[in-house]
Amino acid sequence: MSKVLIVYATDYDHTKVCAEALARGVESTGGTAIVKDAGDATGEDIEAADALVLGSPVHMGSPDWKIKQFIDQQCSGLWMKNAGIGKVGAVFGTGSGFGSAGGGIELTLLALLNNLAELGMVLVPLPKNTENYADGGLQWGPYARVHSKDTMEPLEVSEVQLGIMTAHGANIARVADAVAGQALFKP
């Protein structure tokens, strides 16, 4: 069964709560989920896993610097060794901006997917047949809004949004199971 490393950055724990919901999805398939703060996760953690999932709040329209620090300091070592190639990668995020689209969630998710593609990973999207997709999903991955889009009143991550995170985790684990041990990318 697959081993999925979930690395998140957070200031106020909303993204951590999402990471834990995603882990429940991994575990629902019989897989193992390792959930780590971006400051604690290492290159060895990634090498030991079949899949890497990155989660970040939107900060000024892009990922939190703490997840970028993890990418630059820990993921780059795998890039040098080709050690990420053929593993599975996926992303999720949280945000708050005014209006339906939020302020930069797509750019944030795409930036993180770009980093995983750089490592040669097989990327897992969020398909639109996911239950409640319209309430917390984008094709790039799930996201949770933690302030009202009209008033900026603080919100907790909703049960619906947590459910989408869990569904994403289950999908990632199933893809990792299918991909594990396959020599997909030949030199």
Ligand X SMILES: Cc1cc2nc3c(=O)[nH]c(=O)nc-3n(C[C@H](O)[C@H](O)[C@H](O)COP(=O)(O)O)c2cc1C
For binding to ligand X (CB under 6 A), which residues are involved? Answer: 10-15, 57-61, 94-97, 102-104, 146
CB of 10 to ligand X, least distance (A): 3
Would you say 50 or 64 has its CB closer to ligand X? 64
Report the nearest approach of ligand X to the CB of residue 96 (Å): 4
Rounded to 5°, the CA angle 176-182-186 comes to 125
Identify which of residues 14 and 87 has a Cβ nearer to ligand X in the complex.
Answer: 14
For the CB of residue 43, give the shortest distance to ligand X in the complex, in Å: 23
Using an 8 Å Cβ cutoff, are 114 and 108 in contact?
no
- Read off the amino acid at residue 6: I
Q: How far apart are CA 5 and CA 50, in angstroms?
A: 8
As given in the structure block, the two tokens for residue 40 are 């604690």
Q: Using the minimum distance from each CB to ligand X, give the nearer residue, 67 or 90.
A: 67
Distances (CA, A) of 96 to 10, 77, 86, 137: 14, 33, 33, 14
Comparison of 138 and 146: residue with beta carbon closer to ligand X: 146
Please state the closest distance from residue 19 (CB atom) to ligand X, in A.
9
